[in-house]
Chain A
Amino acid sequence: MDSFQHRRWIIILTMLFVTVVFGVRLLYVQVLNNDWKNRAEQITHHKVTIHPARGLLYDRNGELLVAVNQVYDILVTPKDLKGIDTVEFCSLFKISKTEFLQKIEHASTGYNVSYKASTFIESMSKEEYSRVVPYLKSFNGFDSKRRTNRGYPNGVAAHVLGYVRKISAEQYSKDQKVGEKYYNQNDYVGVTGLEKVYEKELRGERGSAFFLRDYAGNDKTNLEENYAISGNNLYTSIDLKLQSYGERLMKNKLGSIVAIEPSTGEILSLISAPSFDPNKLSGREFSENYKELLNNDTLKPIINRPIYNANYRPGSIFKLVQALIAMQEGVITENTGFVCNKALINCHNHEPPSNVQIAIKHSCNPYFYHVYKRLIQRGEEKSIFKDSRIGIEKWNASVKSFGLGIKLNTDIPGVKPGRIPDANYYDNEFPSKTNPYGKHRWAFSTIYSNSIGEGEIGVSPLQMANLAAIIANRGYYYTPHLVKKIGKDGSKRPEYLKKNYTMAAAKYFEPVVSAMEMVVENGTAMGAQIDSIRVCGKTGTVQNKTFNDHSVFIAFAPRENPKIAIAVYVEYGTWGGIWAAKIASLMIEKYLVKELSEKGKKKEKEVLDAIILDKHSDFK
């Protein structure tokens, strides 16, 4: 028996103590505290967003307008940057050193944080990417991501289609704060055109997948997957051939063409000249191109003129509206005649306007002076000031039923209402808000310019085309729109299936239609004649103080069961008969007959050769 036997207890106690410490620690780590569980999840769980394919856009005949291209983004994670040979990198990616530093700076400020990847170079084409990809691995912190980008096989209809951009900081924070919280910072959204209006339909629904990943970041096990739902394709009402043809005709001119199918309100073509290739706003050079289009081109091609320029005065085409309203109101009949008194308002020499048709055919200014006077001063009040207020309110309501002076509920973003003046306008806003005429201080004699579509009337080319559609339909219109079908088996928006009736009855339209046919047959728009088709039209010449007058023409054809209604507005195109009418007739002929007649071909050459304004023009 040795005397140190009791020491075994010290040793055993030491062992038990260690085990108790371990037990407590394990209890804490595994049961009581959740930190390590959460950290384990951070290590193992990997959530992947599955981006749906954005819907494509087709024309009315199934031709592809907007396709998708494969592009590659170069991503940078600033925290992981290590030992980058900047010189080599810059020469490989063809950027300057300052640009490099700026981009790195940008990638770690604001919404971007240095431990997350953000875009360094955007939308590299396949060719560019295959050049740099072999070297990419040697630059720590850089990575790449494949993405689809918009591509435009035909390069037309830039204004109609709009473009897609990475979501802006403002839009993102708005979406997060008051919106549906759908977007991520690197998402792409439609910014203008159909891309914007049908954003929700086009974008589809994002999917997501949960993976367990290994130490190297490889996804090993799929825990959960929600498939992405692709965006709907849009079947637009645009006729690709007509659209391209119109854009060709409008080369070297400034203005708009809008063509509508009257029986449905579908827009066949919407042309803003000058235009640009939509591919410019899709690739890497977006910023440069956008700046160029916005600032460095005096003709401002970025503006969508058919809807944006609602301050165009309609000129003589407005006489059609005046005639229709006057007959409906009963202030004239189809056979009312007036004397062409040039002392009232200037005119040209023509046969006496003994009825509405002749007046329209010759676009007689004094005739419509009288008509408008009867509409405004109806003799309901003794004071001409009070009387004019009553008259203009009635007139205003009637004109608005023609889709003028109101914002058409179309699917083109940025549509403007234009202006049809009312009493309030002259009381408080004209000539200026600070010094208006004031109540009871204006009468017909103050505002008579409106009678012939000048004065304070503002109408957009879209509204002009819609007016042509109204007359073609003899009294109603469908709100003009660009999309026939959302998705392959979808339909258009329900609001576009509703007829909007004007306040003029159908029977008053026949004399106006006849007059319009006469305008083309032997009136002011003989340039719009097409041998095989009965075209009805009306010219307008909008006076312009600084430069040539603007040339306007609206038309529809054929006279019975019209298939196309069109408005052409050529800025600085002198009077209506010359350019606008010719262009309109070419569009009609192309659309209805497909092959141009000999006469048509001659006209086409004239139009194509005409340089009215080009981008070097400098004017105010």
Chain B
Amino acid sequence: MENRAKNIIGKVDIPLLGLFLVLVFAGLLTVYSASFSEEYPQIYSLDKAYGKQLAWIVISLIIGVLILTLEGSFIRNSAYIVYGVVTLMLLVVLFMPAIKGAHSWFKIGGFTIQPSEFAKFATSLAIAHYLSTSGIKIQEAKTKVIVFFLIAVPGFFILQQPDPGTLLVFFSFIFVMYREGLSGNILLGMFFAIIIGVMAIFFKASEANVSFFGWVFAANYLYLFVIVIATVLIHFGITYLVMPRYRAKKYIINMVSGAIAMLLVFSCNYAYDNVFKDRHRDRFEVMFGLKLDRKGVGYNSYQALSAIGSGGPAGKGYFKGTLSNDKYKHVPEQSTDFIFCSWAEEWGFLGSFLLIILYTAFLIRIIMIAERQKSKFTRIFGYCTASILFFHYMINIAMVIGLAPVIGIPLPFFSKGGSAILGFSIMIFILLRMDSERKDVLR
């Protein structure tokens, strides 16, 4: 038994484990500083956020070590069971009393558990299991539909809580699908759709007018006009640059995507006027910099950027922040979604740059690990892990530094929240476990 444990430890990927521990430790210290209270100065004080966070980290590490003792095949075989249990939890949690307006938590004693955090690794396991089953080809429509449902079922329950931020993370599986062979055009199409949609909303929100030889257009109509022109130009481009035998198909693709783009712009405009509420509109206006609102919806963003900016190049020093901590509370949600502010204020640009480098290194290391697997299951699970963490990292930081509208989504390993740290740890330790036996498995 002792020999076996030694074996596992020896085979665990030390860079990934190291990066994981560094991030978790830095996160704990930041939560400690951000929510420090003089009444309970000890970091292990369970009355405060940092004490609970420490407890959750300890629990996560214990569970992580337990995972390392499991057989890889056992993990793979339990995938659907785990998925089923967690999905059931997502259903049950909807009947729990609402906390802050959302039915997202089970309350047990002083601790709360958020099953949607577990849905991330559970869904990852299920997808990995399904796609690694022999004979499954991602190019087939049936596969796509089943994967869609594997994601959509927990996604639907999460939307009912409601927790749109977490739902957004489920879109990250598109990267996994892409890696496994989904047509790049779909990814590219989505990419363009996002660009076109965001620009449409920007023009709509800016209410800008463009003067053209004395005629005044609303910018969003001019934008539609530009799409039409682009479609026409591409049409001629096809005529002159593409060999005749390929032309017919390209014409159709061009026409269809032009039409979809126009439809998208129309629906964005429509949604902006009729579906969005004022608070959504305001969020977009603040994000686009059309409005420097420091009291209303822009408050969070304004305060967060002030805290980050005040850090300067080298920061104010640990525990020396003056905006983003429990004493001053200028930044809302400063120990959860906006935890990056505390870090950036205390450690400055050097610290915040180091942190994004650490995250990127961490993500790339996961992809490297995924790519060295012979087992398709492990590879897919690795990509799921990387994609989910990447989405969290990207959306959270972008929101905090004012590049995205405010979306409630935690920064992995940093934001206070037990279920999140446990969920992310389980993912990392499953990956570490599967990786450690990569040489023992054939496929």
Name A's B-contacting residues (CB within 8 A).
Answer: 2-5, 7-8, 10-12, 15-16, 18-19, 21-23, 25-27, 29-31, 33-37, 39-41, 43-44, 212-216, 220-221
Q: Beyond A30-B309, A214-B327, is A12–B364 a contact (Cβ under 8 Å)? A: yes
B349 engages A27 (CB within 8 Å): yes
> Does B413 reach chain A (CB closer than 8 Å)?
no
A26 engages B401 (CB within 8 Å): yes
> Does B303 reach chain A (CB closer than 8 Å)?
yes
Q: Beyond A23-B353, A30-B352, A43-B330, is A37–B360 a contact (Cβ under 8 Å)? A: no
Task: Name the one of A11, A36, A214 contacting B305, with C-beta atoms under 8 angstroms.
Answer: A36
A31 engages B313 (CB within 8 Å): yes
B344 engages A30 (CB within 8 Å): yes
Main secondary structure of the interface of B (DSSP, over half): helix
B356 engages A23 (CB within 8 Å): yes
Binds A, one of B51-59, B104-112, B390-398: B390-398
B363 engages A33 (CB within 8 Å): no
A214 engages B309 (CB within 8 Å): no
> Does B403 reach chain A (CB closer than 8 Å)?
yes
Q: Beyond A4-B180, A31-B349, is A22–B306 a contact (Cβ under 8 Å)? A: no
Contacting residues, chain A, for B184 (C-beta < 8 A): 7, 10
> Does B163 reach chain A (CB closer than 8 Å)?
no
> Does B164 reach chain A (CB closer than 8 Å)?
no
A30 engages B348 (CB within 8 Å): yes
B181 engages A4 (CB within 8 Å): yes
Contacting residues, chain B, for A11 (C-beta < 8 A): 175, 178-179, 367, 383, 386
B356 engages A26 (CB within 8 Å): yes
Q: Which chain B residue lies CB-closest to A29?
A: B309
Q: Which chain B residue lies CB-closest to A4?
A: B181
> Does B357 reach chain A (CB closer than 8 Å)?
yes
> Does B74 reach chain A (CB closer than 8 Å)?
no
Task: Name the one of B180, B309, B352 contacting A35, with C-beta atoms under 8 angstroms.
Answer: B309
Q: Which chain B residue lies CB-closest to A216?
A: B329
B349 engages A7 (CB within 8 Å): no
Q: List 7 A-B contacts (CB under 8 A).
A: A22-B403, A30-B352, A37-B312, A43-B323, A44-B322, A215-B330, A221-B322
B309 engages A8 (CB within 8 Å): no
Contacting residues, chain B, for A221 (C-beta < 8 A): 322
Contacting residues, chain B, for A216 (C-beta < 8 A): 329
Docked CA distance A8–B372 (Å): 12
Give chain B nearest CB distance to A43 CB in angstroms: 6
Task: Name the one of B175, B312, B322, B390 contacting A31, with C-beta atoms under 8 angstroms.
Answer: B312
A7 engages B178 (CB within 8 Å): yes
Give chain B nearest CB distance to A564 CB in angstroms: 66
Q: Beyond A27-B349, A35-B309, is A4–B179 a contact (Cβ under 8 Å)? A: yes
Docked CA distance A12–B178 (Å): 13
Number of A-B contacts (CB under 8 A): 118
Contacting residues, chain B, for A3 (C-beta < 8 A): 181
Contacting residues, chain A, for B330 (C-beta < 8 A): 43-44, 214-215
Contacting residues, chain A, for B118 (C-beta < 8 A): none
> Does B212 reach chain A (CB closer than 8 Å)?
no
Q: Beyond A12-B364, A26-B353, A214-B327, is A39–B398 a contact (Cβ under 8 Å)? A: no
Q: Which chain B residue lies CB-closest to A40?
A: B310
Task: Name the one of A15, A33, A214 contacting B360, with C-beta atoms under 8 angstroms.
Answer: A15
Docked CA distance A274–B243 (Å): 112
Contacting residues, chain B, for A29 (C-beta < 8 A): 305, 308-309, 401-402
Q: Beyond A12-B364, A21-B403, is A40–B306 a contact (Cβ under 8 Å)? A: yes
A22 engages B356 (CB within 8 Å): yes
Docked CA distance A43–B178 (Å): 46
A40 engages B401 (CB within 8 Å): no
> Does B215 reach chain A (CB closer than 8 Å)?
no
A26 engages B327 (CB within 8 Å): no
Contacting residues, chain A, for B179 (C-beta < 8 A): 4, 7-8, 11
Contacting residues, chain A, for B398 (C-beta < 8 A): 22
Task: Name the one of B181, B306, B394, B403 contacting A43, with C-beta atoms under 8 angstroms.
Answer: B306
Give chain B nearest CB distance to A34 CB in angstroms: 8
Contacting residues, chain A, for B344 (C-beta < 8 A): 26, 30
Docked CA distance A398–B363 (Å): 103
> Does B240 reach chain A (CB closer than 8 Å)?
no
Docked CA distance A27–B302 (Å): 17
> Does B328 reach chain A (CB closer than 8 Å)?
yes
Which among B294, B309, B327, B359 has the highest number of chain A CB atoms within 10 Å? B309
Q: Which chain B residue lies CB-closest to A25?
A: B401
A33 engages B403 (CB within 8 Å): no
Contacting residues, chain A, for B72 (C-beta < 8 A): none
Task: Name the one of A4, A19, A41, A213 contacting B310, with C-beta atoms under 8 angstroms.
Answer: A41
Q: Beyond A25-B403, A44-B323, is A30–B364 a contact (Cβ under 8 Å)? A: no
Contacting residues, chain A, for B175 (C-beta < 8 A): 11
> Does B307 reach chain A (CB closer than 8 Å)?
yes
A15 engages B363 (CB within 8 Å): yes
> Does B437 reach chain A (CB closer than 8 Å)?
no
Q: Beyond A8-B371, A36-B306, is A30–B328 a contact (Cβ under 8 Å)? A: no
Docked CA distance A11–B397 (Å): 18
Q: Which chain B residue lies CB-closest to A27?
A: B349
> Does B64 reach chain A (CB closer than 8 Å)?
no
Closest 4 CB pairs of A and B: A36-B309, A40-B310, A40-B306, A30-B349
Docked CA distance A12–B371 (Å): 12
Q: Beyond A7-B179, A22-B397, is A40–B356 a contact (Cβ under 8 Å)? A: no
Docked CA distance A36–B305 (Å): 6
Docked CA distance A252–B205 (Å): 77
A40 engages B360 (CB within 8 Å): no
Contacting residues, chain A, for B356 (C-beta < 8 A): 19, 22-23, 26
> Does B197 reach chain A (CB closer than 8 Å)?
no
Contacting residues, chain B, for A44 (C-beta < 8 A): 310, 322-323, 328, 330
Contacting residues, chain A, for B401 (C-beta < 8 A): 22, 25-26, 29
Give chain B nearest CB distance to A215 CB in angstroms: 4
Q: Beyond A15-B363, A22-B401, A214-B327, is A36–B310 a contact (Cβ under 8 Å)? A: yes
> Does B311 reach chain A (CB closer than 8 Å)?
yes
A15 engages B323 (CB within 8 Å): no
B323 engages A16 (CB within 8 Å): no
